[in-house]
Structure 1
Amino acid sequence: MNTLVQPTGTARRPRLSLWFLRVATTVHLVLVLAQPVLAGLFLTGDVDAITVHGTVGSALAAVSLVQIGLTLVYVFRRGRLWVLPVVVALFLAVGAQIGLGFSRVLEVHVPLGVAIATASVLLAVWVWSPSAARPRGGAR
């Protein structure tokens, strides 16, 4: 039996690709939410927390890059198209955030961090919602 042929009347929809995207998005969210905690620890006197803050930021960039690849697969499997530009924008924002942090441009670094955290929470909420599993075109 050829498993690549789909039965008549069934729409190809994201399944495994969505689960991989969900895992990557959740890891991304955990890393994003750790950042203000680490910054707060640094501000309260734990000087080693800033090193961890930078390391987590670099890990966040790597996870964001993986997330882009997984989003491409998700979109290819008839997932929602709008997710790709959102994930790419998050990756670019994380890159800018790293540069701003190392340059100590905190007047932009802090609000951009809030924007990244907000977008990451909203994306994670959506990716775990039932609408993320629906294929493009509304077919069920």
Structure 2
Amino acid sequence: MSSPPVTRTPRLPLFPSARSSGRAPAPPAVRLPRLLLRGTTTASAALVLAGTVLAAGFLNGHYEALRAHEVVAMVLGGVLTVQVPVAALVRRAAGPAGERGPWWPLAAAALLLVADGAQTGTGYERAVGVHVTLGVLLVSAHLFCLVGAWRLPLTSPAPEPSASSVSPVSSVSSASSVSSAAVEDGPGRLPRPSGTGTGPVEVAP
């Protein structure tokens, strides 16, 4: 006795592409600035975390970590300086429908650049209390910007089907079913209603 055939369901892709999700890739004018924004936010988040680790090493008595902490702060300032025009391009780039990009990356990049300058100033002034407090807030802000940048879509929404795009096959099949019902009832009679207990309706010549 043979066993019944086993039907296998198709596996869904782990990382669906734009084609499989029904969404078209965004134009290069929108896609490239958002990719650059992802790169700059990733670099800035990594640098600010590295600066936190080096500051902890300095507090543990490794005084050579202070110089590395200073270098990381300078590199972070350069990355944030690049991130501001990148965020402006994200805002300026128009989508397929002519809509502008989000405004928050530009505002966040400008605020982070100003806050990073204040953080560097408090470090050189040896204002440890303000420096540590502002550093904790900056780490949280950089991580929020990192998540927000990676959540920006790189695809355009799929167009909604319009009434004119409906396939004529369904209309043809419905018309043929009505005509076949009329033929079954005979000439001079309307199609039978779907309800029960009603007979064919005679049509006067």
TM-score by length of 1: 0.83
State how far apart, in whole Å, the 2-side matches of 1:82 and 1:71 are: 9
Among candidates 101, 107, 113, match of residue 123 of structure 2 = 101
Equivalent residues in 2 for 1:46-125, closer than 5 Å: 46-77=62-93, 78-125=100-147
Superposed structure 1 runs of 4+ greater than 3 Å apart: none
Which amino acid is 1:111 matched to? T
**5+ residue gaps, structure 1:** 1-10
Higher normalized helix content (fraction of residues): 1
TM-aligned CA deviation for residue 14 of structure 1: 2.0
State how far apart, in whole Å, the 2-side matches of 1:27 and 1:92 are: 18
Which structure is richer in relative contact order (CA contacts within 8 A, separation 6 or more)?
A: 1
**CA RMSD after TM alignment:** 1.9
TM-aligned CA deviation for residue 63 of structure 1: 0.5
**5+ residue gaps, structure 2:** 1-25, 94-99, 158-205
Answer with 1 or 2: which has the greater Rg: 2
TM-aligned CA deviation for residue 95 of structure 1: 0.4
State how far apart, in whole Å, the 2-side matches of 1:38 and 1:49 are: 5
